[in-house]
Structure 1
């Protein structure tokens, strides 16, 4: 049996200590507000560029 010896205690499943786990508050950093930006590019140009990017991904 060429597999060698091993310690059976290493083969046990690790114990999960759920008591030490802290809950994550997903709303801790929520922000209300608006985002505005100015651009010289038209919506049609942006849509065309997006289509080109999608075509590149398919290749």
Structure 2
């Protein structure tokens, strides 16, 4: 088998009519609108230093 060869038995007519529309992906299924907040005892300078260390 050379490059680009394929087994023709795998290329049979694949009927898309058997697809159930309910099996699709719902992209907004887990979409949430809200706020995220947190409290930290670290100063802004400490946080920026930590960020710089991670980079």
- TM-score normalised according to structure 2 size: 0.54
Q: Which runs of 5+ in 2 are unaligned?
A: 1-6
Matched residue count: 45
Q: Which runs of 5+ in 1 are unaligned?
A: 1-10, 55-59
Distance 1:14 1:40 in 2: 62
Q: Deviations over 1:3-32 (max 9, x none)?
A: xxxxxxxx4546666554732111111001
Distance 2:11 2:44 in 1: 55
Tell me how large the CA RMSD over aligned residues is: 2.6
Runs of at least 4 residues of structure 1 off by over 4 A? 11-19
